[in-house]
Structure 1
Amino acid sequence: MRWAPLLAMLLMAPGAWAQEIVGVRVGNHPGHGRIVFDWRTAPDYRMQQGEDAVVLQFPAGAAINLDGARRPPRNILDVTAAGDAVRIGLRPGARARVFRVGPKLVVDAMDPVAERPVPSAQAAPPQRRGRAPEAVAAASPAVATPMPPPASMPAPAPVPLAAPVALPQPGALPVRPLAQRGAILLPYPPTTGLAILRRGGQVLALFDSGEPLNLSALRDDPIFAALEAEALGGATLLRLPLASSGQLRARREATGWILQAVRPADDAEAAGRAIPVEAEDGAAPRLVLRARQPGRVVPVTDPESGLPLLLGTLREIGQVMPVARRLPELDLPQTMLGAAVLARADRVVMQATGSGFLIGAGTGSLALDLAAAEMPTAASMTRSFEFPRMAPAQMLERLRALQASIGAAPSLGRLPLRRAATEILLALGLPQEAQAMTELAKSEDPQAARDARLTALGGAAALLAGRLPQAVVLRQPELPDSDELNLWRMLLLAAEGQAGLAAPGLAASLPVLFDYAEALRSRLLPLAAQALAEAGATESLRQLLDQAGPLPELALPRAMLAEAGGDTAAALAGYDEIARGRDRLARARALRRAIELRLTTQQIDAGQAARALEATLFAWRGDAEEVVTRMRVAELRRGARDARGALALLRETEALFPGHAAALRPAIGAAFLAALEQEPPIGAVALFDAYPELLPHDAVGEAAILQLADRLVALDLTERAALLLGQAALRNTGAARAGLGLRQAALRLAEGDAGAALSALHDSAVQPLPDALARDRTILAARAQARLGRMEEAVAGLDALGPAGAEALAELLADRQDWPAAAAALANYLRFALPAAPASLDTAHRQLLLRQAAMLVLAGDEAGLAALRTDHAPRMTEEPWGAALALLTAEQLRGLADLPRLQREMSLFRTIPARLEALRAGGPVTR
């Protein structure tokens, strides 16, 4: 009964259950101290920064536990709480940077600029675990300021309320954001080269131009607000914190370089063409990187290792190093543009040539074994874990010994033992037990939560157990980087369905995977092979399958490799064999791929493929796989002219999977528009009445409704078409609403209801509008007002348009038989509409000139006719236009001497109708 009072207190205070208690962690890093607020969900916060402190204002009711900040890290004097705000006192000269990493909020207190550590030949940078120490080049490049870890796209960090603003240098090139989201323009001249690559949590973009940049226009940009520029003496280095799933794509335009943040999975252009790497033998072996339009080689300091990083710029886009390679004395990192060399020996030299870049040794020779670089050995790759490689019986015996030691050890002394036990459990292929071991360690020892190796082991166990939300701890920037950790991060990307991003890293980390014990290796190989197959990395997949042997779990990747190689028969045989197996997920994937392959090879049509693919929905249900299959079935139904069936399936999918509603919306809109086009007019109207909210509020939706209205008008259902347009206009906004209202008003006016036309225009009025749409609406309103007898209002509206409304004004005045005013209005329009070149008159222009002549005749304006004849007769020599203009603009008969001319004109009048009819019908004109 001793628990009864505690239970009663909890039941009486339900708010305690819902309140989120946020822990705080601190740490010291090269160049900065760090405070991490461990939020479970990303908070909305405000920041105020002064010279000596940063104040973070959190949502009301947040419980911040500052016990972990009792000993502040470097550059931070104190951390105090006041209500919902936390004040972080800064050391004099320190600079704070605040950003998000997932839901966590990170505050870095950067060292004062004068006190930043500078790597030199006497002070070698820290080496990663498992590397042999190498001397740093004596002539070290400028030091790259440490950057924060990557923030999640699209926004790397919130803009502070009172951030210090650095004044740009005089004459700095203005960098500005573009209308296209996630893109900026850097106005460098065409001779400027560029290199882009990711190092750690930031993307580096190096321009081989020393012109300073003005970044003030990016202050409010959601992605590039955190962009920093560093002058390197003849070059400029940009650093941008960017999520691991993001890349920078560059393109060259006449006005400069454009950088755009993209996700490679959604952008096929982000891959680029691989720069060929060749080895040249001789007295001094060297590597040749063959690239077009090479720029310069600029040395910088690698933010990850502190070693010299030699960057080769290019003046042409699309040339990349897609896979990282490691040699004994240098690395060739993966790039998004250009070439890069990480020098691990001080004699590494890189220079630009006319055909690319040369990599060699300044003195002596380098070990340049490209074969070893393509597939490095497991022993040469860095590790984060210590998975044992022994027989399962030996690992079980060792695990029993560890468990006995854990039971005998005090609680605060068990962390190393539990960490070793976790590694054995993972090596045995027991991820659930391994994850439970890490949780036990965290519950016993407060140091366990800050143990990077244990955190990474917990993430690996969660990934292997299929608990992806818990496996994201593998992406924490605090974890020391290694080849082994990169393998697990790539496996996490593959499990999340981002095979295109994971494939290069998986291909480079395969030696680590094959070095694992059989139980762990067999659990990871299918995931890696499937990712390589989906990404189209056929060479790496072939190497994996050859080395793995005939494992049954790899049957699906083998069939996919056969399909990629063009062996349709072998691929279909493999898929059909897997479909008869017992692995439900592999069976579902094999069925679907077999259907797609038969569709591609025209063994079945789209309708048959849709029916067959729909039958596979029962093979695997309840996750993103089913959603993707349903969307593909809907696409095939649309291709088979069954858009209504596709719409029904997508709406059912939206109801079953509300979490995927945002991804389904574009497909639902496309199916709805296709159904409006394919259904009979009455059925299409009924469909719109049933789902009016599915109409896109853009030009595509407007065009679909206008087309449907035209089909109704063709069936003499003008009233129904007008009602449809009115309903659609009320549900739209902007120019689409105004365009639909204009069409509705035109139908109402054509039916003789000028009042209804004006009401339709009034109900669909929005501001601002494109000039052409605003003009058409004003002209139609003037015609409706003239029909109602409001001539003064109609004339005033058309006069306000200037020359653009003169033609419509002339028509209204002609209807009132006010010929002088109509002729003057049309003359005003002709000055605006007629081209200057005599030979460029088309049929419409000639018709306007004849209308002007007719109005002048009816107005009795001899002077106007004479001027028209003088100005335009030379441009109307083509028959019958010239004859008609000559008749209309001829002088009046004044005596008997003009009778012969009258006879000729009467003959012309009798022949003009036949000539005009021949012209209208497209036949030859008799001269």
Structure 2
Amino acid sequence: MLDTIIADGVPSDDAVPYLMRSMAWMELGRNAEAMKDLAHPLLATSLDAAAIRGIVHANEDRWREARENFAAAAGVAGTLPIDMQRKMVLAATRTALEMRDSKEAARVFSEFETIGVPDELAAEVAVLAGRIAESEGKMGDALVAYERAGRMNESPAAAEARFRALAARIGAGKITRDQAIGDLEGFTVLWRGDRTEAEALGLLGRLYVDANRYRDAFRTLEAATISHPTSDVTRTLQQTMTGAFADLFLEQRGEELSALEALGIFYDYSALVPVGRRGDEMIRRLADRLISVDLLEQASELLQHQVDKRLQGAARAQVAAKLAMVQLKNRKPDKALRTLRATSLAELPSEIREQRLLLEARATSETGRHDLALELLEGLRGKEVDRLRADILWAAKRYGESAEAIERAYGDRWQSFAPLADHERHDILKAAVGYALGDDKLGLHRFRGRYAAKMADSPDRAAFEAVSTSFGLDSTDFKDIARAVSSVDSLDRFLRDYRTRYGDDKTSDGAEPAAPEAPAPPRQSRAPAPAPG
């Protein structure tokens, strides 16, 4: 009828049809259409229209706009029809509560003493009474009001009352977290489609995070986003879950997950990865965890995405070095070389330049181009460089020069009182074998004089004696020792030293990474190196 009246034309100064139609739209829950009529120029200064706008805004959870309109309409509240007054008092009380103004909520709510509460509104009014009592710290009164509302009927207000009673008991610590999760799971299955469901999902999601049930927590966000995409409750839950997702990969609590489980969550909910530096750090830390349990292909995918899509400049070159290290560890030196060459820059900080050169030299040696690998190391100094040079020379069968590089790397270690570690004893024995294979009697004699005492009390004493006192290269003992020395994988040793030097095995605060919680998949074994010579 109102459509017909307005279509036939109304006097230019008659706003009543538009006001009435906005009320009809509001009763039908068609808020957008109601606001369109309320935007008519004739209603711009209407206090009646302000009251209706306030109710519509409250129905849309637009609390600030609702409050402004209720404040403007305060002078006409008593002139409205009684049913409209009750709607306005309900909406204005809810608005004050959502704006955390409990005094204003109690003041407005007191108007029900004058206008009365019909049976059909009893549950909604009881919920508001409970919320006001809860905001004032009167938990007992709040629970009584909620329980009264929850028993009245199967209405949205009764469902909200049951949820708020449960939330109040959770907040007061009257039920355990597991009980709360179970009750909320049941509630969200049975009650769907309104703000109460959104709030229940938000609380359930936070409890899941507290219980380290991350996948369940992120599922609640998916459900809330589907059901209530524009709700402020969903936006708050989105922020909470984004923070929880970041903490899962940046804080210690994420170490409770296995690397495989963490990877699965990352891929399933990658939309929660924050932009910028924090997101990049999250991806790198996850890659470190995958590397620690030899999930090298998956780690490579994450790092490759950073190199290709997210980073530029020196940061890109540094992450590319980590990617090349993973590819090298995965026995793909050609890929490592392509990664390094594709991300080269003329100007880089000296440390990044050095770590990239070390990786490039090792990868080049792994492809059999030992002389080129040695050329890449020219101009570099340090123990790590000498150890790498020794490995390359050994792979090139230049055993005497390899021994010299090992001796140079250890410097005056022979003068230290500290006993040799396992990897140090292996290097010392390897150098002795190298001098023997290189037919450098003078070098072997000097080396024996330096390290005989330190090797005397070690498990390798007999082997060192056999190698350093005899040039019987054809003896069975010497061949066995040389074969054992050569069979140790020098690439793994290089990568361990590299990651120790450049921090790839440590978190940002310097702590060592947690031990792997999932067994590593079997690695492809390499055949032992044949005995030199």
Scaled by the length of structure 1, the TM-score of the pair is 0.35
Partner of 2:284: 706
Q: Does the alignment pair 1:745 with 2:320?
A: no
Among candidates 451, 458, 463, match of residue 26 of structure 2: 463
Change (3 A) 1:760 1:503: same
Partner of 1:531: 95
Q: Does the alignment pair 1:494 with 2:71?
A: no
Partner of 1:600: 171
Change (3 A) 1:566 1:731: farther
Change (3 A) 1:445 1:536: same
Amino acid at match of 1:758: L
Contact 2:147 2:165 in 1 (8 A): yes
Contact 2:147 2:161 in 1 (8 A): yes
Q: Does the alignment pair 1:578 with 2:153?
A: no
Amino acid at match of 1:472: M
Amino acid at match of 2:216: G
Amino acid at match of 2:94: Q
Deviation at 1:486, TM superposition (A): 2.9
Q: Secondary structure at the match of 2:111?
A: helix
Partner of 2:356: 781
**What is the alpha-carbon distance in structure 1 between the residues aligned to residue 177 and residue 74 of structure 2?**
39
Among candidates 445, 448, 458, match of residue 9 of structure 2: 445
Greater helix fraction, Structure 1 or Structure 2: 2
Question: Counterparts in 2 of 1:355-754, with a 5 A limit?
Answer: 437-445=1-9, 451-473=14-36, 474-476=38-40, 479-503=43-67, 505-507=69-71, 509-549=73-113, 551=117, 552=122, 553-582=124-153, 584-618=155-189, 620-654=191-225, 663=235, 669-670=242-243, 672-673=245-246, 677=254, 678-688=256-266, 695-715=273-293, 717=294, 719=296, 722-726=299-303, 728-729=305-306, 732-734=309-311, 740-748=319-327
Deviation at 1:775, TM superposition (A): 6.3
1:551-598 deviations in Å (ceiling 9; x for gaps): 224211111111111111000111111111215221222222222222
Deviation at 1:470, TM superposition (A): 0.7
Change (3 A) 1:738 1:489: farther
Question: Counterparts in 2 of 1:903-918, with a 5 A limit?
Answer: none
Deviation at 1:441, TM superposition (A): 1.1
Contact 1:587 1:619 in 2 (8 A): no
Amino acid at match of 2:9: D
Change (3 A) 1:451 1:779: farther
Deviation at 1:467, TM superposition (A): 1.3
Change (3 A) 1:767 1:577: farther
Percent identity between the two aligned chains = 23
Amino acid at match of 2:338: S
Deviation at 1:777, TM superposition (A): 4.6
**What is the alpha-carbon distance in structure 1 between the residues aligned to residue 42 and residue 138 of structure 2?**
46
Contact 1:781 1:794 in 2 (8 A): no
1:783-838 deviations in Å (ceiling 9; x for gaps): 2233333566677xxxxxxxxxxxx94449963999xxxxxxxxxxxxxxxxxxxx
**What is the alpha-carbon distance in structure 2 between the residues aligned to residue 634 and residue 688 of structure 1?**
17
Q: Secondary structure at the match of 1:592?
A: helix
Partner of 1:219: none
Amino acid at match of 2:306: A
1:21-47 deviations in Å (ceiling 9; x for gaps): xxxxxxxxxxxxxxxxxxxxxxxxxxx
Greater strand fraction, Structure 1 or Structure 2: 1
**What is the alpha-carbon distance in structure 2 between the residues aligned to residue 790 and residue 712 of structure 1?**
29
Deviation at 1:754, TM superposition (A): 5.3
Amino acid at match of 2:26: L
Change (3 A) 1:455 1:641: same
Q: Secondary structure at the match of 2:212?
A: coil
Query: RMSD value over aligned CA atoms?
Result: 4.2
Contact 1:507 1:540 in 2 (8 A): no
Change (3 A) 1:694 1:727: farther
**What is the alpha-carbon distance in structure 1 between the residues aligned to residue 344 and residue 157 of structure 2?**
55
**What is the alpha-carbon distance in structure 2 between the residues aligned to residue 455 and residue 565 of structure 1?**
41
**What is the alpha-carbon distance in structure 2 between the residues aligned to residue 814 and residue 784 of structure 1?**
11
Change (3 A) 1:732 1:585: farther
**What is the alpha-carbon distance in structure 2 between the residues aligned to residue 640 and residue 686 of structure 1?**
19
Deviation at 1:602, TM superposition (A): 1.7
1:746-780 deviations in Å (ceiling 9; x for gaps): 444567865443334456x4999xx98x7665333
Question: Counterparts in 2 of 1:304-343, with a 5 A limit?
Answer: none
Gaps of 5+ in 1: 1-436, 796-807, 819-853, 859-927
Q: Secondary structure at the match of 2:137?
A: coil
**What is the alpha-carbon distance in structure 2 between the residues aligned to residue 461 and residue 581 of structure 1?**
28
1:652-707 deviations in Å (ceiling 9; x for gaps): 44455677899576566555556662421122234445555654454333333333
Q: Secondary structure at the match of 1:631?
A: helix
Partner of 2:483: none
1:522-558 deviations in Å (ceiling 9; x for gaps): 3332222222222222222222222221522421111
Deviation at 1:637, TM superposition (A): 0.8
Contact 2:327 2:333 in 1 (8 A): yes
Number of corresponding residues: 368
Question: Counterparts in 2 of 1:272-351, with a 5 A limit?
Answer: none
1:67-116 deviations in Å (ceiling 9; x for gaps): xxxxxxxxxxxxxxxxxxxxxxxxxxxxxxxxxxxxxxxxxxxxxxxxxx
Change (3 A) 1:793 1:693: farther
Q: Does the alignment pair 1:757 with 2:336?
A: yes
Change (3 A) 1:510 1:516: same
**What is the alpha-carbon distance in structure 2 between the residues aligned to residue 673 and residue 810 of structure 1?**
40
**What is the alpha-carbon distance in structure 2 between the residues aligned to residue 656 and residue 730 of structure 1?**
37
Amino acid at match of 1:463: M
Change (3 A) 1:573 1:477: same
Change (3 A) 1:477 1:792: farther
Contact 1:725 1:743 in 2 (8 A): no
Question: Counterparts in 2 of 1:868-879, with a 5 A limit?
Answer: none
**What is the alpha-carbon distance in structure 1 between the residues aligned to residue 21 and residue 318 of structure 2?**
58
Q: Secondary structure at the match of 1:651?
A: helix
**What is the alpha-carbon distance in structure 2 between the residues aligned to residue 504 and residue 761 of structure 1?**
61
Gaps of 5+ in 2: 365-371, 390-407, 413-533
**What is the alpha-carbon distance in structure 2 between the residues aligned to residue 659 and residue 541 of structure 1?**
25
**What is the alpha-carbon distance in structure 2 between the residues aligned to residue 503 and residue 767 of structure 1?**
58
Contact 2:321 2:359 in 1 (8 A): no
Contact 1:745 1:756 in 2 (8 A): yes
**What is the alpha-carbon distance in structure 2 between the residues aligned to residue 679 and residue 559 of structure 1?**
41
**What is the alpha-carbon distance in structure 2 between the residues aligned to residue 776 and residue 456 of structure 1?**
73
Amino acid at match of 2:163: R
Change (3 A) 1:657 1:481: closer
Change (3 A) 1:532 1:775: farther
Change (3 A) 1:791 1:457: farther
